[in-house]
C-alpha cells in the first residue's frame, strides 16, 4: 500500500485516516494551534502605528501642532517599545506649538533611554533577534538620535540654559561607523572603524553655547569644525562670531526620510526619498519688521535625507541579511528534500524537509527591517542669525512657497534670543 508522507502528519488527510478511530481534539493540539496562530499575530500585530499616532502625524502636517500634541499625549507615558519614538513625536509637536516645557520633558525622556544600555528585556532581545526586529525598544537610527539630542539642545538654547544645551549638543556628536574603503581593508579585518561625527548642527550648537558661556577658544573650535563640515554655514558662523548677532532663527523645513526596505524580504534598510529625488533644499528668506535679514538665502545646516543615505549614519544589516540568506537556503533545501522524499516515498525525510522549509520561511519573514520612524523630522534645518536691537520685532520666515505667519518676538537685552520655526512643504 502506497502511503505518501502527508498521510503521516496526522491531520486526517491520509488514507489510513478512515480506518482509524476518530480522534478527540486534545489540549495539546489546541495549544499547538494557538501557538501557530500567535506567530503571525506577533509578527504582524505589534509594529503598525496605532490610529492615534496616525492622526497626530496627519494633524502635524496640516499645521495643527497643539491638536497633534494633545492627540499624542496619552501615548508618551506608556513605557512600551515605542516609548522613545512617541516622546520624540510628541516633542516635535510641542516645540512646534511653542510648548517648551512639554517638549523639554518629552525629549529628556527620549534622551535618557537613548543613552541607556540593556534597555530590552532578555525575552524582547531574543524576540527581536529571532522573530522580528520591530519588537525591540525603538532608539532610532543614528540620525534620529542625533536630531533628538539637537532638539533638546535647542530647547535649552531658547531658554538660555547654555550649560544644559551644551551637554545635549555634545551628546548629539557620538562617534560613527566608517567602513573600510577597499577590499584590502576588508581582508585585513579593518571592515569598519569609528570616526568623529559629521553632524554640523551639533558643532554649531556647541559653538553657540561656548560663546555664550564665555569660553571663546572652544566656541571658535566648534564653529570652525561646523564650517569645515558644511561650508554653507560659513556666513552664519561669521555673523555669529564677528558681527555680534544676538538672535538665531532655527528653521525646520519639509519632511524627513522614511524607511523603504529592499532586498528579497525587505531585509536591507534604505531610506527614501534620496537627495536627488527630492531636489535641492530651497533657500530660506527671513524677515524682521519687513526687512530681509542679511544671513538669509544660504544652504541647509543639515539635510536629513543626505544623512539617511550616508552609510556612516546607517544601522547594521548583518543580522537581518544573515537570517534572510539562511532562511532562503533552508526553504530551497527543505523543499528539495521534501520533493525527493516524496518521489522515494520516504515520509520521515519528507517531513524533515518540510520542517526545514517552514523554519526557513519563518526566518525570511522575520528578517524584515524595523520600519518604525520619526515621521515629524524635517528634511532640512536652516540657521539664520541676525543682529536686532533689543525689544519687539515682527519676524516672518518663508521658503519655496511656504511661509509662517508673522509673529512678534521680544529680543533680549542680554543673552541670546533663539527662535524655532517649522515650515511645511
Partner 1 sequence: MPEKSTGHGAAGWRPGARGLKRAFAAVVGVLALTGLAGCGPAISAHAHTTFLSARDLLHMTDQMAASLAGSPRLAALTKNGPMVIVLKRVSNQTDEILTRGEEELFVHRVRVLLAQQPLLRRRFRFVLNRKTYYDLLREEQIPAAQLGPRESRVVPQYVLDATFYSDTHVSRKFRSDYYLCAYQLVDIHTGVIVWQNTYETKKSAVSGFLY
Query: Taking the complex as a whole, how short is the minimal distance between the CB of residue 220 and partner 1, in angstroms?
Result: 18
Residue 27 binds partner 1, judged by CB under 8 A: no
Give me the 38-67 binding string for partner 1, x by CB under 8 A, dash otherwise: xx-xxx-xx---------------------
What is the Cα–Cα distance from 421 to 286, expressed in whole angstroms? 10
Q: Which of residues 329-358 bind partner 1 (CB under 8 A)?
A: 345-348, 351-352, 355, 358
Stretch that binds partner 1, among 89-97, 120-128, 252-260, 294-302 (CB under 8 A): 120-128
Given candidates 22, 25, 123, 279, which one binds partner 1 under the rule CB under 8 A? 123
C-alpha cell at 40: 503571525
Sign of the Cα torsion 211, 215, 216, 221 reads: negative
What is the Cα–Cα distance from 333 to 325, expressed in whole angstroms? 12
What is the Cα–Cα distance from 188 to 329, expressed in whole angstroms? 29
Residue 127 binds partner 1, judged by CB under 8 A: yes
* Residue 304: DSSP 8-state: H
Output the CA–CA distances (angstroms, integers) from residue 65 to 62, 108, 174, 398, in the order listed.
8, 20, 30, 18
Q: Which of residues 166-225 bind partner 1 (CB under 8 A)?
A: 167-168, 170-171, 173-177, 194
Q: Which of residues 356-375 bind partner 1 (CB under 8 A)?
A: 358-359, 362
Output the CA–CA distances (angstroms, integers) from residue 416 to 162, 213, 289, 359, in the order listed.
10, 11, 19, 60
Residue 14 binds partner 1, judged by CB under 8 A: yes
Phi, psi (rounded to 5 degrees) for 125: -65, -45
Query: Taking the complex as a whole, how short is the minimal distance between the CB of residue 304 and partner 1, in angstroms?
Result: 18
DSSP strand pairing (407-411 vs 391-399): antiparallel
Phi, psi (rounded to 5 degrees) for 355: -60, -45
Given candidates 12, 13, 30, 32, which one binds partner 1 under the rule CB under 8 A? 32
Given candidates 60, 90, 132, 199, which one binds partner 1 under the rule CB under 8 A? 132
What is the Cα–Cα distance from 112 to 74, expressed in whole angstroms? 20
Query: Taking the complex as a whole, how short is the minimal distance between the CB of residue 122 and partner 1, in angstroms?
Result: 8
Sign of the Cα torsion 205, 57, 253, 281 reads: positive
What is the Cα–Cα distance from 268 to 325, expressed in whole angstroms? 12
Q: Which of residues 386-425 bind partner 1 (CB under 8 A)?
A: none
**Residue among 247 and 367 whose Cβ is closer to partner 1:** 367
- Judge whether 387 and 246 are in contact, CB under 8 Å: yes
Stretch that binds partner 1, among 94-102, 163-171, 294-302, 415-423 (CB under 8 A): 163-171
Instruction: Find where cell 502636517 sits.
Output: 61
Residue 77 binds partner 1, judged by CB under 8 A: no
Across the strands, what pairs with 395? 288, 407
Residue 383 binds partner 1, judged by CB under 8 A: no
**Residue among 55 and 159 whose Cβ is closer to partner 1:** 159
Stretch that binds partner 1, among 110-118, 263-271, 294-302, 322-330 (CB under 8 A): 110-118
**Residue among 218 and 404 whose Cβ is closer to partner 1:** 218
**Residue among 88 and 245 whose Cβ is closer to partner 1:** 88
What is the Cα–Cα distance from 388 to 126, expressed in whole angstroms? 56
What is the Cα–Cα distance from 351 to 6, expressed in whole angstroms? 8
- Judge whether 373 and 49 are in contact, CB under 8 Å: no
Given candidates 27, 51, 117, 276, which one binds partner 1 under the rule CB under 8 A? 117
State the number of binding residues for partner 1 (CB under 8 A).
78
Query: Taking the complex as a whole, how short is the minimal distance between the CB of residue 149 and partner 1, in angstroms?
Result: 10
Query: Taking the complex as a whole, how short is the minimal distance between the CB of residue 99 and partner 1, in angstroms?
Result: 18
Give me the 291-320 binding string for partner 1, x by CB under 8 A, dash otherwise: ----------------------------x-
Residue 20 binds partner 1, judged by CB under 8 A: yes
Amino acid at each position: 500500500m502506497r502511503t505518501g508522507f502527508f498521510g503521516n502528519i496526522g491531520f486526517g488527510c491520509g488514507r489510513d485516516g478512515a480506518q482509524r478511530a476518530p480522534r478527540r481534539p486534545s489540549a495539546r493540539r489546541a495549544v499547538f494551534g494557538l501557538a501557530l496562530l500567535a506567530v503571525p499575530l506577533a509578527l504582524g500585530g505589534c509594529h503598525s502605528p496605532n490610529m492615534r499616532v496616525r492622526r497626530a502625524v496627519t494633524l502635524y502636517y496640516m499645521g495643527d501642532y497643539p491638536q497633534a500634541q494633545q492627540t499624542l499625549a496619552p501615548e508618551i507615558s506608556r513605557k512600551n517599545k515605542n516609548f522613545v519614538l512617541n516622546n520624540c513625536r510628541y516633542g516635535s509637536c510641542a516645540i512646534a506649538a511653542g510648548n517648551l516645557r512639554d517638549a523639554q520633558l518629552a525629549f529628556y525622556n527620549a534622551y535618557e533611554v537613548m543613552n541607556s544600555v540593556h534597555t530590552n528585556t532578555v525575552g524582547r532581545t531574543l524576540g527581536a533577534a529571532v522573530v522580528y526586529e520591530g519588537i525591540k525598544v525603538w532608539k532610532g537610527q543614528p540620525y534620529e538620535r542625533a536630531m533628538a539630542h539637537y532638539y533638546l539642545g535647542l530647547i535649552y538654547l531658547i531658554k538660555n540654559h547654555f550649560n544644559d544645551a551644551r551637554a545635549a549638543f555634545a551628546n548629539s556628536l557620538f562617534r560613527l561607523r566608517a567602513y573600510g574603503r577597499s577590499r584590502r581593508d576588508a581582508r585585513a579585518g579593518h571592515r569598519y572603524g569609528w570616526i568623529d561625527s559629521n553632524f554640523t548642527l551639533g558643532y554649531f550648537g556647541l559653538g553657540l553655547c561656548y560663546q555664550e558661556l564665555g569660553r571663546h577658544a572652544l566656541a571658535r573650535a566648534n564653529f570652525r569644525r561646523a564650517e569645515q563640515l558644511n561650508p554653507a554655514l560659513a556666513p552664519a558662523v561669521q555673523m555669529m562670531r564677528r558681527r555680534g548677532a544676538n538672535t538665531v532663527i532655527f528653521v525646520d523645513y519639509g519632511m524627513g526620510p522614511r524607511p523603504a526596505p529592499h532586498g528579497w524580504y525587505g531585509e536591507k534598510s534604505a531610506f527614501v526619498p534620496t537627495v536627488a529625488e527630492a531636489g535641492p533644499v530651497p533657500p530660506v528668506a527671513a524677515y524682521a519688521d519687513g526687512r530681509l535679514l542679511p544671513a538669509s538665502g544660504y544652504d541647509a545646516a543639515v539635510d536629513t535625507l543626505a544623512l539617511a543615505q550616508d552609510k556612516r549614519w546607517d544601522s547594521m544589516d548583518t543580522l537581518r541579511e544573515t537570517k534572510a540568506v539562511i532562511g532562503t537556503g533552508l526553504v530551497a533545501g527543505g523543499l528539495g528534500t521534501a520533493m525527493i522524499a516524496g518521489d522515494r516515498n520516504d515520509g520521515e525525510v519528507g517531513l524533515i524537509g518540510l520542517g526545514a522549509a517552514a523554519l526557513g520561511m519563518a526566518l525570511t519573514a522575520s528578517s524584515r527591517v524595523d520600519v518604525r520612524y520619526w515621521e515629524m523630522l524635517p528634511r532640512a534645518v536652516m540657521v539664520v542669525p541676525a543682529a536686532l536691537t533689543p525689544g519687539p520685532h515682527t519676524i516672518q520666515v518663508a521658503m519655496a512657497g511656504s511661509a509662517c505667519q508673522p509673529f512678534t518676538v521680544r529680543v533680549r537685552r542680554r543673552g541670546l534670543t533663539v527662535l524655532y520655526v517649522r515650515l511645511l512643504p
